Amino acid sequence: MAAFDCKFGRPGGGLKRYPGSPRLVRPYLRPGDRFVACELHPDEALALKREFAGDRAVEVRQADGYKVLKALLPPPERRGLVLIDPPFEAADEFERLLRALRQGVRRFATGCYALWYPIKDEAAADFAHELAAFKPLTLELSLDGIEPGRLSACALAVINPPWRFEEAMREALPWIAQQLGPGVRAAISAPPASAPAPASAG
């Protein structure tokens, strides 16, 4: 992130710019890997296309990622990560997210799914309860001293995480919380080791 900030920001002081999830994903692609990024908003999609112009490993689609998911799964490689990072602009975002996950797992049961979501009201608790059927590894960052109803925490739920991912996150997440400043807490919850994610749900 420091390199990204140095390239696009102004020198001096702390970090002022950080890369979005597509830029974070790209350095970890191996030769032969493919990355399909979906962005619904035209201006953001255009900016994303410009960002990855000429990069044959990256395909940017101006589309609703929820609707595109069915066409992309299962991938021909039979291995893949589905990252769903919604804007949470719609009132039914949690419902859409669960519906997409259920459809995805039915089509690609062995895939790794990573779902980001905000935590600020009972809707998030209800979502986490529904999500429990998929036996996710859940990574959470929370901020102390935030009034009720405002965004005070967020989580990343990972279904079918890669080998040793949990071990790595138990070391990395507390460090991330520390770097973010005082009052930031990290928490990790894992399902029983013997409980696989369901092949289908709902």
Tokens of 177: 């919380």
- Report d(CA 176, CA 61) in Å as an integer: 31
For residue 119, CA distances in Å to 77, 170, 201 come to 34, 20, 23
Q: Choosing from 5, 33, 64, 85, which is the catalytic residue?
A: 85
Is 85 part of the annotated catalytic residue set?
Answer: yes
Tokens of 201: 């749900």
Please name the amino acid found at residue 144.
D
Q: What's 21-69 look like in SS3? A: HHHHHHHHCCCCCCEEEEECCHHHHHHHHHHCCCCCCEEEEECCHHHHH
Catalytic residue numbers? 85
